[in-house]
Amino acid sequence: MPSLRAELLDEESIDLLARAGQLTLTLAPEASERLREALGKLAKDEDFVRAARLAASKGMKVKLYALVGVPGETMDDLRAFAELTRRMAASGVRLELSVNPLVIKPQTPLQWLPMLPEDELNSRIRAARELYAYERFSYYDPFEALVQGSLSLGDRDTLKYIVEVARDGVGRGSWRRAASRGLLSIALRPRRSPLPWSHVKGPFDEKVLAERLRAYLERVPEARALLAEASPGQDA
């Protein structure tokens, strides 16, 4: 089974998973409860602790997906998530932890915000490795996350980097050379409307996404500075 919503799991559902042969319960707390709520997630820390306790009683291990680099994230958020992992581990469950930089994508409320630089993402992953409780630790490479973000958030000019990398062999060195020529600046800068994809009709109108961004900034005021000069346009 893929990642499941902790707030919907109870003893019966976890028992059914165990009886079906599931060995690992996969959950996605993603960030501290503060950031999780700001992102519109309903699950509380207690939901994950309860799920871990039930999984341990069935002999299952738990795999957690965590995020770093969420706009406005502070060390207090990392410490709060660390406390959640310690509480889960205290239930006796075996924890496998996957830590991943947040990759900002189009058609989401955070599409106007920049990602964090590679060195800062690496620093937060190191902090997670030191603070979090786990039996096994893995992470997604921040450089690759920034490349992914830049390709997702780019405009037509991004094509030149794709062509250069294709001609250059498509290895990591090719992407590094593209980064040295400015590829990662796409993900690292804030954006303003109209966006390259503003003409594409998505599941949510851009005005709705802008409203959700404003609600996020109300809950996470530390993220406001990331907008710098850019912000959702007046038309949003």
**DSSP output for 100-120:** EE----TTSTTTTSPPPPHHH
E-only strand ranges, the chain: 24-30, 61-68, 95-101, 136-139
The Cα 185–Cα 195 span in angstroms is 16
pLDDT for res 236: 37
Per-position b or e across 156-190, b if 16+ CB within 10 A of its CB: eebeebeeebeeeeeeeebbeebbeeebbebbbee
Correct CATH for 6-227 of 3.20.20.150, 3.30.750.200, 3.40.50.970, 3.55.10.10: 3.30.750.200
Largest CA distance in the chain: 55
Query: Nearest-CA neighbor of 214 among 132, 109, 83, 125?
Result: 109
> Which residues lie closer than 8 Å to 45 by C-beta, 6 or more apart?
29, 33, 84, 87
| pLDDT recorded at residue 202 | 87
pLDDT at 227: 85
Helix (H) or strand (E) holding 180: helix 172-180
pTM: 0.93
Q: What is the pLDDT of residue 232?
A: 57
- With beta carbons less than 8 A apart as the criterion, state whether 18 and 60 touch: yes
For the stretch 30-60, what's the b/e string if a residue is b when 16 or more beta carbons lie within 10 angstroms of its beta carbon? bbbbbbbebbebebbbebbbbbbbbbbebeb
Q: Average pLDDT for consecutive 10-residue bins of the chain (236 residues)?
A: 94 96 97 97 97 97 98 98 98 97 97 97 98 98 98 96 96 97 97 94 94 97 83 46
- Which of 57, 43, 56 shows the shortest CA–CA distance to 3? 43
Confidence at residue 96, expressed as pLDDT on a 0 to 100 scale: 98
Q: What is the pLDDT of residue 164?
A: 97
Q: Which two tokens stand for residue 33?
A: 């409860």
- pLDDT at residue 235, rounded to an integer: 39
CA dihedral angle for residue 143, residue 145, residue 147, residue 152, rounded to 10 degrees:
-170
Helix (H, G, I), strand (E, B) or coil at 91: coil
Cα separation, 230 vs 225, whole angstroms: 10
Q: Where are the domains of the chain?
A: 6-227
